[in-house]
Every structure is written in structure tokens, then in C-alpha cells.
């Protein structure tokens, strides 16, 4: 593949500076392997002189055999008034033994005099000395011109002098950085064109998103002829984040026809975004372009009806190109088309003229009027669908539920105990559970009651629990909606369920019962029971 632009990922360094992210060494190594397999050209592993974690990463990464990517270590230019060979940061940088080093220096005269406290001439020497020293020791050198665009607007002659110093020292790529993230795309393009007229060096772009322009600026830079684009997965980074490679890559590949990875690698983009989010311990951004779960989700009935006829009516690309999938949401805005598609997904052959279809749609709208929301609780809707067409088989009957919350001792914590009595077939089970709160206790008790009959329940866990007050006018007596997300780790399958009530415990119980019932009905012995019912319905229908 003939590439005109290389991809530089700084998730492990710049991305980790986002509030709330702290990658372990193991996380960083695993992400490195995924980025390499995905086709990223340069992976910035960290700043080896800044912390023990990055030192350990660079020591360990040497033992990995990467297929494509080059690992790069990051550091600043030498300090003012110190010989480059005596600077501890530079010694640590070279000790990392990476084939590529990335060195950043100041382009803004304001930063030189105020932040570094040195002269403009000494800063030029710091840039030249550091780049030349790394080149003399056989490294490929990427020079990051920090605050370049702000520096250019303040003192263009000096900002240009800094990158010309890096060019004379032998920098392989000079990256123009919008470190404060405030440049507009039209200004950025004009500045890059001016820089290109003055230097023969390869140029790159490193954009931040403080003005919401990081992706747009990166694309404009590509149009202006830069040869490297830096960014992070999911746009993670300090403050408002960095340029989002998950948006930039498909834009380059699919919109600008600039190949940066193989087509089959692009199909892994959505999984890569979710994998990094998981290791960062952050919820995936649902509305993120291309890779978000809502990127190809359709809610309005008119939209769904059109997409069923031709996907291009409301989709700018095929979701499969980036490894995503089309989703049809169910709500009070839904038309029959949404319902028909959900029915088809469950092997029901319905038509718009079928009176059961209208009855179910009316039921759905009535439940949403009461406060139910099925957009994030499609498992509850599927249970509703199965019940409406009499293929649902109840796995257990609730006979009694009791929850007690008490404070033990003056300085003790509140502890919740739950007792659950259920019937499975002809057997009755009475179990108790203790938890951090009433829902946790109910979950424990209900699992204990079912584990002997349905051992598959041991693989199902609750991963998210949300409570939303629907109308605050009644204060603590207001109606609430509870959304529960559950996951079967063995099957790598997640699903959501919903409950609504004026009593938060009742709403939680509804969502919890739906969650466990759906998980069991789609796995193991219970799944076979459900499949038999569906097949019977289709034959009789």
C-alpha cells in the first residue's frame, strides 16, 4: 500500500494525561499490541525520564516482536545552560533504546522567556543540540514544535526559526503542534502552506480539541500536505482531549481516499476503540462518529422505514466498513418498521397489517408513557415481545421478597439483607443475601435461589446500574427508572433491562429479574426451551 501519510498514536502518553486515566504497564503493553496489529505506524510509549512505569514499559517492550509499528520515546530538549550529554532527560530518552525518539521544544517566544526562563537564542541552541545529538546516535527523530501556531501568530519569524533549527539538525519529521487547541482550520491551513514554502522537511500535525477543531484541523493539515498525523484513540488527552484517530482514520481513508491502513484493518476500528476504553476504565462514547454505538442507530419511524429500503438514505457509510453495526431503537417515536425489524431479529415473521403488531406497538408506547425506556434496555423489550406472542417460558415465579437495611452500631455502616422465595417448576427455594445496598443484596439472594437449577447464572454479572428520577415534583416519592446492564463473560454478550416504579427497590427488582431471566433464556438449557417455543410459533403462524 502506497501511503502518503503515517499515523502516530500517543494514547499511551498524551492520552493517559486525561483526567481519570491511569494505564498499568500491562495495559500499555496490551494496547501497543492492538495498535500494532491495527496498522499504526508509530506508537509513543511514554516519557522514560518521568516515571518508573514508563521506564518499565520501555524495558519490557523490547521483548515484544511487533509486526509493523515503531515504538517511540518522548522527551523535551535539553535544559538551558546544560550540555546535552549531561541532561538526565536525554540520557533516559536514549537509554530506552527505541528506534525513534520524539523531542519537543518551544516555538512560542512567550514560553521561552516566561516558562523556560531563558533567551530566544539559547532555545534555538537547545533544539539544535538535542536533535543533532539523537541523530548522531542513530535514532530517527521526530521533532514536536510545541505551541507552534500560537507562536507563529505572536512572532512568526521566531516560530519559523525554531523549526528551521530542527531541520538543520537533521530532524526526520517536524510536527506542528496546536498545543492549546485554539487554532481555526482556515488559519491553520494558511500557516502550513507558508511553512511548506520555507522548508523541505517532512511535516506533521499534532492537534488538541479545546476549540472542538482537532479532527477538522488534522484533516485540513492532510489536505495541506502534511505527512504525519498524530492523535489518540477515542480522542483521549489532557483537558478537552487530542485529535481522535478513530474519526481521522476513516475520514482519511473513506472520504479523502488517502490510504493509511488496510481495509480489513479498518474493520477492526470499532473493536479497537472499545478495547482501549475498557482498559482506560471509561464508558465508550456512544455518540462518537464511526465507532460509537449510536453512530448507526435509528429511532424515528420515518428514518427506519427509509433505511430498510436503502441504508444510504440515513447513513453516510456502511457501518461494516469500520466494524460497527446498524441498530434500530424502540421508543414512543417508533413506527411499525422498528417493531418489524426487532421481530425479524427474533425470528418472528410479522407484517405491518398484522393486528398483533399494532397491539404490541400500542403497548410499547403506553409503557414509555409510564416512564419505561427501551433504547438502552432492548433485552426487556425482547422479553416483552416473547410474552406478547406467547413464546416466553417463565423460568421462575416470585413468591416473596423482603429487604431489611440496618445500621449496626453507632459507627457501623448500613448493611442490607434480602430474603427471596421463588418457585422453579415444582420446587421452592428460600434464600438470603447480604450486600452493600438493597439491590446488591437482592441480586445475591436471587442468584443463590437459582444456581442449582440454572448453573449458567454464575457467568452473568451486573456491570452498570443507573437510577433516573422521572419527575422530581413529588420529591423522594417520585417515580424512578432503573436501567441495568449485565454481561455474560463466557459468551462476551451484554444486554440492558429496565424497571419503573415509585419505589426504587421495586423498579430495581423488575430490571434485575429481567436481566437474569434474559441472560438465562439466551444461554444453556433455558435457551433450548425458548428456541423450541419460537419454532413452534413460526410453524403455527
Residue 172 and residue 254 in one domain: yes
Residue 69 and residue 215 in one domain: yes
Tell me which DSSP letter residue 268 carries. T
Residue 216 and residue 356 in one domain: no
In this structure, are residues 502 and 473 in contact, taking their beta carbons and an 8 Å threshold? no
User: Looking at the domain assignment, is residue 306 inside a domain?
Assistant: no
User: Looking at the domain assignment, is residue 327 inside a domain?
Assistant: no
User: Looking at the domain assignment, is residue 280 inside a domain?
Assistant: no
Choose one of 194, 226, 261: the last residue of a domain. 261
Residue 443 and residue 475 in one domain: no
According to DSSP, the β-strands at 228-231 and 6-9 are parallel
Choose one of 261, 291, 314: the last residue of a domain. 261
Indicate which CATH number applies to the domain containing 427.
Answer: 3.30.160
Could you list the pLDDT tens digit for every one of the 541 residues in the chain? 778 999 999 999 999 999 999 999 999 999 999 999 999 999 999 999 778 899 999 999 999 999 999 999 999 999 999 999 999 999 999 999 999 999 999 999 999 999 999 999 999 999 999 999 999 999 999 999 999 999 999 999 999 999 999 999 999 999 999 999 999 999 999 999 999 999 999 999 999 999 999 999 999 999 999 999 999 999 999 999 999 999 999 999 999 999 999 999 999 999 999 899 888 988 789 899 999 988 988 776 677 667 777 878 888 999 999 999 887 665 544 555 556 666 666 666 666 666 766 777 777 777 877 877 676 678 888 888 788 777 777 888 999 999 998 877 777 778 899 999 999 888 899 999 998 889 999 999 999 999 988 888 988 988 888 888 877 666 666 788 898 989 888 887 888 899 999 899 999 999 999 999 999 988 765 555 544 444 444 434 4
Q: Where are the alpha helices (DSSP H) in 25-147?
A: 25-38, 52-61, 88-95, 109-111, 120-136
Residue 353 and residue 422 in one domain: no
In this structure, are residues 438 and 417 in contact, taking their beta carbons and an 8 Å threshold? no
Chain centroid, CA 130 distance in Å: 36
User: Looking at the domain assignment, is residue 150 inside a domain?
Assistant: yes
In this structure, are residues 71 and 61 in contact, taking their beta carbons and an 8 Å threshold? yes
Q: Where are the alpha helices (DSSP H) in 288-411?
A: 301-309, 336-345, 355-370, 378-388
Residue 513 and residue 415 in one domain: no
d(CA 447, CA 455): 9
d(CA 530, CA 503): 31
Residue 173 and residue 99 in one domain: yes
In this structure, are residues 200 and 174 in contact, taking their beta carbons and an 8 Å threshold? no
Residue 128 and residue 233 in one domain: yes
Q: What is the largest distance, in Å, between two alpha-carbon atoms of the chain?
A: 88
Q: Which of 515, 532, 512 is nearest to 378 (CA)?
A: 515
Indicate which CATH number applies to the domain containing 354.
Answer: 3.30.160.340
User: Looking at the domain assignment, is residue 136 inside a domain?
Assistant: yes
Segment holding 370, helix H or strand E: helix 355-370
337 grid coordinates: 418498521
Residue 251 and residue 180 in one domain: yes
d(CA 416, CA 414): 7
Residue 431 and residue 530 in one domain: no
Residue 240 and residue 204 in one domain: yes
Give CA torsion, residues 225, 226, 228, 232, to 10 deg.
Answer: -100
Q: Which of 174, 183, 162 is nearest to 112 (CA)?
A: 162
309 grid coordinates: 429500503
Residues 6+ away with beta carbon under 8 Å from 353: none
Q: Which of 463, 35, 6 is nearest to 271 (CA)?
A: 35
Indicate which CATH number applies to the domain containing 232.
Answer: 3.20.20.70
Please give the full DSSP string across 468-535, using - where no structure is assigned: EES-GGGGGGS-EEEEEEEEETTTTEEEEEEEEESSHHHHHHHHHHHHHHHHHHTSHHHHHHHHHHHH
User: Looking at the domain assignment, is residue 37 inside a domain?
Assistant: yes
Choose one of 427, 453, 479: the last residue of a domain. 453
Residue 534: per-residue pLDDT: 44
User: Looking at the domain assignment, is residue 28 inside a domain?
Assistant: yes
Residue 336: per-residue pLDDT: 54
Number of domains observed in the structure of the chain: 3
Residue 429 and residue 386 in one domain: no
In this structure, are residues 204 and 230 in contact, taking their beta carbons and an 8 Å threshold? yes
Range of the structural domain that residue 427 is part of: 396-453
User: Looking at the domain assignment, is residue 74 inside a domain?
Assistant: yes
In this structure, are residues 315 and 326 in contact, taking their beta carbons and an 8 Å threshold? yes
d(CA 499, CA 510): 5
Amino acid at each position: 500500500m502506497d501511503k502518503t501519510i503515517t499515523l502516530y498514536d500517543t494514547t499511551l502518553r498524551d492520552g493517559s494525561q486525561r483526567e481519570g486515566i491511569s494505564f498499568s504497564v500491562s495495559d500499555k503493553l496490551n494496547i501497543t499490541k492492538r495498535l500494532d496489529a491495527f496498522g499504526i505506524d508509530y506508537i509513543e510509549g511514554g516519557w522514560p525520564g518521568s516515571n518508573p512505569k514508563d521506564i518499565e514499559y520501555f524495558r519490557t517492550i523490547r521483548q515484544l516482536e511487533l509486526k509493523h509499528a515503531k515504538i517511540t520515546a518522548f522527551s523535551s530538549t535539553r535544559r538551558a545552560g546544560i550540555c546535552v550529554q549531561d541532561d538526565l532527560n536525554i540520557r533516559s530518552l536514549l537509554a530506552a533504546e527505541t528506534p525513534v525518539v520524539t523531542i519537543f521544544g518551544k516555538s512560542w517566544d512567550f514560553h521561552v522567556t516566561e516558562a523556560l526562563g531563558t533567551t530566544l537564542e539559547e532555545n534555538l541552541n537547545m533544539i539544535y543540540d538535542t536533535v543533532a545529538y539523537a541523530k548522531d546516535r542513530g535514532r530517527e527523530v521526530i521533532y514536536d514544535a510545541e505551541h507552534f501556531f500560537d507562536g507563529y501568530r505572536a512572532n512568526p519569524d521566531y516560530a519559523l526559526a525554531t523549526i528551521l533549527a530542527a531541520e538543520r539538525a537533521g530532524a526526520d519529521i517536524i510536527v506542528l503542534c496546536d498545543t492549546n487547541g485554539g487554532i481555526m482550520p482556515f488559519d491553520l491551513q494558511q500557516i502550513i502552506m507558508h511553512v511548506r514554502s520555507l522548508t523541505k522537511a517532512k511535516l506533521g500535525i499534532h492537534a488538541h480539541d479545546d476549540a472542538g477543531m482537532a479532527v477538522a484541523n488534522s484533516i485540513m493539515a492532510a489536505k495541506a500536505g502534511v505527512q504525519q498525523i498524530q492523535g489518540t484513540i477515542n480522542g483521549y488527552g489532557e483537558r478537552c482531549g487530542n485529535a481522535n484517530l478513530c474519526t481521522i482514520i476513516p475520514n482519511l481513508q473513506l472520504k479523502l481516499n488517502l490510504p493509511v491502513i488496510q481495509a480489513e484493518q479498518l474493520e477492526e476500528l470499532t473493536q479497537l476503540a472499545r478495547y482501549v476504553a475498557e482498559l482506560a476504565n471509561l464508558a465508550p462514547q456512544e455518540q462518537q462518529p464511526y465507532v460509537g454505538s449510536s453512530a448507526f442507530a435509528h429511532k424515528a419511524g420515518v428514518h427506519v422505514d427509509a433505511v430498510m429500503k436503502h441504508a444510504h438514505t440515513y447513513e453516510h457509510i456502511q457501518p461494516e466498513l469500520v466494524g460497527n453495526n446498524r441498530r434500530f431503537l424502540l421508543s414512543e417515536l417508533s413506527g411499525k418498521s422498528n417493531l418489524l425489524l426487532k421481530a425479524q431479529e427474533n425470528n418472528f415473521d410479522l407484517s405491518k397489517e398484522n393486528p398483533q403488531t399494532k397491539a404490541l406497538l400500542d403497548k410499547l408506547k403506553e409503557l414509555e408513557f409510564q416512564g419505561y425506556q427501551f433504547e438502552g434496555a432492548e433485552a426487556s423489550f425482547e422479553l416483552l415481545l416473547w410474552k406478547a406472542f406467547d413464546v416466553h417460558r417463565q423460568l421462575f415465579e416470585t413468591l416473596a421478597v423482603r429487604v431489611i437495611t440496618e445500621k449496626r452500631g453507632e459507627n457501623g455502616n448500613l448493611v442490607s439483607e434480602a430474603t427471596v422465595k421463588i418457585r422453579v417448576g415444582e420446587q421452592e427455594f428460600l434464600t438470603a443475601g447480604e450486600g452493600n445496598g438493597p439491590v446488591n443484596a437482592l441480586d445475591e439472594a436471587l442468584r443463590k435461589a437459582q444456581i442449582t437449577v440454572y448453573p449458567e447464572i454464575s457467568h452473568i454479572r451486573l456491570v452498570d446500574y443507573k437510577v433516573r428520577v422521572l419527575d422530581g415534583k413529588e420529591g423522594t416519592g417520585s417515580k424512578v427508572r432503573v436501567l441495568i446492564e449485565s454481561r455474560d463473560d463466557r459468551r462476551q454478550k451484554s444486554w440492558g433491562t429496565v424497571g419503573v416504579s415509585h419505589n426504587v427497590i421495586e423498579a430495581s427488582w423488575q430490571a434485575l429479574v429481567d436481566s437474569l431471566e434474559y441472560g438465562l433464556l439466551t444461554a444453556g438449557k433455558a435457551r433450548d426451551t425458548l428456541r423450541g417455543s419460537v419454532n413452534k410459533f413460526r410453524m403455527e403462524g
